[in-house]
Structure 1
Amino acid sequence: MEKQARIYVAGHKGLAGSAILRKLREEGYTNLVFKTSSELDLRDYNAVNTFFLQNQIEYVFLAAAKVGGIAANNEYPADFIRDNLLIQTNVIDVAYKTNVKKLLFLGSTCIYPKFAPQPVKEEYLLTGELEPTNQPYAIAKIAGINMCQSYNRQYGTRFITAMPTNMYGPNDNYDSNNSHVLPALIRKFHEAKERGLPFVEVWGTGNPKREFLHSEDLADACVFLMRNYEGSDIVNVGVGNDISIKELAEFIRNTIGYTGEIVYNTSIPDGHPRKLVDVTKINQLGWKAKITLEEGIISAYTAFKDEIMSQTIRA
């Protein structure tokens, strides 16, 4: 991937896309292309086709997607399957038709079978039932993976897929109802401390275990794979260890300095009981995560406070 190559980062405002954009700039790539969703609706095939032709795109990082936590997936299942199918179908097909040199598609480890053996190997995809709470999203993402593989087989394209585990970091969604667990907990504990609340409610039993990957590590892995990996087989991106939601909640509480109680709402489903990925493949390729969870949570909380401050100033 040449330094002057025309590179399109789809979803550059999101958690993954913004980190990829920062990483590319740090690495000296200067010919970067990006559009907000209001400027370019990736659900509109004609708009996507025109955009690729006008900008002569050579490489694509497809990080654009509709994402959310358990509550959002339950409330908006039609949006999750429709929007994600449209976005990835349009970008992948147009990338082929406009002769893009290489494309990286971001899957997700949450689309593996609910009861897959741990740690989850890449070959476990489609070997069991999906987690019901995010099935529409998972089906869309699986279709995107298969689309990349099918285009490679039929048309000889170079479309690769990375499977990141739970991500967090700058530009995360901190909505306490529609975000993923780590940023949601950061917001809940911060607000509880600021308001002097006696307890913080955590959804579920707290028993499920999750692996957390900082977005800067994910971006580093994506650029690494774009440079060094060829093939249709998916590649897990993770840190290789996990933590229970209870342990995570305690650590975030201590990091923020909240002294109240933690109450678990067991009426809300846990989702996957455990979701740790096998990172043997990407480690053997020569990449490993660098940011520890402790370092990452501290930096994520700093980013959250900066975001809150900037919103206050704008208001």
Structure 2
Amino acid sequence: MAQATTGGTRPAIGAALARRLVDDQFPRWSGLPLAPVEPGGSDHVIFRLGGELSVRLPRHEEAVGQAAKEYTWLPRLAPHLPLAVPVPVAVGEPGFGYPWPWAVSRWLDGDTATPDGIGESAAAAETLAGFLTALQRFAPAGPEGAEALRDPALTAEPLAALDGATRAAIAATGGVFDAAAMTAVWDAALAAPARQSPPVWFHGDFHTGNLLTRGGRPSAVIDFGSLGLGDPARDLMMAFTLLSPRTRPVFRAALGADEAMWTRGRGWALATGLNAYRHYAAVNPRVAAQTSRQIAAAIAG
């Protein structure tokens, strides 16, 4: 196998590279057609491989390690979850100039969720709350739980770790959004009582782009690269990226989120929305619209 070297720039990732990696490392799939999936994620370039598989190659160094984490933990979590998840079937190695591990997972059919599609559905809101409840209920326990709690890849950063970057983003976007309102939301989130219970599983990037639907209903949750253990308030992001003012309270009630958790969740939604807006809005109108909605919803509560 050709060896790769690491570097400071993002590697060029095209279908030809993905084809060579698959054929070289997993020859049993060499006869399957491979095609890019658009739009890809901000962390991975995604290809569909045949009818039942997907190939995900990290775009940048910060996404490295996600493939191994998903390969280790998603098969353990999947049986406990009410929606489908993309269970990995193989982790590839660097090669042909590509410097990082990559993953092959089961393909999940569906359409990306949108506010216009299911944002007004109370049933969808309850389904999403049920998914998070099931994820949190499968708490780390026994030897497997001890393994998870020791895994540095699952260690969650606290909301306060985003303080500097978030305040800088508020200042930088004050001409677009209400800086005073954003600061009030952020200050309240940092001041909210911290979670006192033991850490639980969270998805970590639970937003519309990582939710699939079929027949107008949530069917699958994808991209567990930010999976971790800690405060599940960060998964309230879905309420502010997908749901409407009418269905947001349905989701909150079904999840049983108290005032402190909801306030922290608004902070996570604001911080992640601002981060994505600053990085991608100028070059991606779709992201600009999504993150603007997210920020406005976080401000509104």
| Same fold, TM-score > 0.5, yes or no | no
Q: TM-score, normalised by structure 1?
A: 0.29
Q: TM-score, normalised by structure 2?
A: 0.30
